[in-house]
Amino acid sequence: MDIFEKCRSSAIIREEKGVKAAGLYPFFNVLESGQDTEVIINGKRTIMLGSNNYLGLTSDSRVKEAAVKALEKYGTGCSGSRYMNGTLDIHVELENRLAAFVNKESALTYSTGFQTNLGILSSIAGRNDYIICDSKNHASVVDGCRLSFAKTLKYEHNDMEDLERIISKIPEENGILIVVDGVFSVEGEISNLPGIVKVAKKYGARIMVDDAHGFGVLGKRGSGTAEHFGLEKEVDIVMSTFSKSLASLGGFIAASEEVINYVKHTSRPFMFSASIPPSNAAAALEALNVIESQPERISWLWENAKYMHDGLTKLGIPIGEFHTPIIPVQTWENERTFIATKMLLQEGVYVNPFISPGVPPGHAVLRTSYTSTHTKEQLDYSLNAFEKVFKQLG
């Protein structure tokens, strides 16, 4: 059999062809402008309700200027790994600042957020260890578990009784790492970190939080889920990305100095990948400067999210509970989701469709997410578009 046969006849390819034939294919839309509250798609101004640009810093002049200056000083890339010739002073400065921001001793940066989870989990969890995961953790956590030699067990989403049932059966001589998303990226739901801490203490487990969608969003200073709950000292490893609130590309972990030192000498995705380009590091560093100097951006973000939540609720649009600036609009079935996505785009509003198998069958949603720099005019326009589309959908 030809190994490429799956590329022609898999269920995914068949469905893609069918959706394209119906004119409903919603993925890989080409943006003809920078990432902002409004973008250009097919030559048309479109309100962006589908990005993770939570603090609106991708278009901030200070962040862009920092990236340009780093490009001029250091060049376009490092041509090597951090382990060898690819460590710049700006990498070290960024790591020190990130560690201080999340109240940890040390930090380590990776070239992407996905790679960060691959790198930490495959390094810190070995053959005699267990990784305990929430069933709705991000795909990068799932793949990081697969890359490690540890045994992975899943508990029902945010179910502390199920977590304790699973963890209680693990022998005392085995190491245990509980890994959880701080904010779950589709539902916008916040993890039950207080419950996890309680169970972890009882059974001597360590805790890692993937705070990709919590960093810059939760907590008074924006340092994430642990700050939100007042549990910064109880979380052993904090992971986050640069591609969301930090308006760049990359990722980091923060932990004790001994953990970071071990990981930087054992993590293959870190040791054998080129380091973050200097412009990306500089952009993330300047974005962090803005977050610390303008904490009101976090308040603007929550005000916009609350405004949209209340507006959608008033219109009778079916949405999930309000937890974070991620608001899922329920469409249930895949085809209905494709149709709604297309109709909204025609009205000048971009949203992200999440369909099965990415979500359980019958639980498809339009994932909307908000930015601190959205204007009320943009939000009102979006609400009018939702009202028009959902009336037509019945």
Q: Which residues are designated catalytic?
A: 185, 213, 244
State residue 31 phi and psi, 5-degree precision. Answer: -90, 135
Can you tell me the distance from the alpha carbon of 183 to that of 302, in angstroms, rounded to the nearest whole number?
Answer: 15
Can you tell me the distance from the alpha carbon of 258 to that of 299, in angstroms, rounded to the nearest whole number?
Answer: 36
Query: Are 38 and 234 in contact, with CB atoms under 8 Å apart?
Result: no
Which 3 state secondary structure label does DSSP give 322? coil
How is the chain split among helix, strand and coil, in percent rounded to 5? 45, 20, 40
Picking from 245, 247, 224, 222, the residue whose alpha carbon sits closest to that of residue 234 is 224
Per DSSP bridges, beta strands 326-332 and 175-181 are unpaired
Which 3 state secondary structure label does DSSP give 368? strand
Picking from 218, 184, 181, 214, the residue whose alpha carbon sits closest to that of residue 328 is 184
Can you tell me the distance from the alpha carbon of 107 to that of 98, in angstroms, rounded to the nearest whole number?
Answer: 7
Can you tell me the distance from the alpha carbon of 284 to that of 251, in angstroms, rounded to the nearest whole number?
Answer: 10
Distances (CA, A) of 326 to 50, 98, 321, 369: 9, 24, 10, 4
Query: Are 97 and 252 in contact, with CB atoms under 8 Å apart?
Result: no
Distance between start and end Cα atoms, the chain: 47
Structure token digits, residue 201: 């203490």
Which 3 state secondary structure label does DSSP give 272? coil
Picking from 372, 189, 385, the residue whose alpha carbon sits closest to that of residue 294 is 372
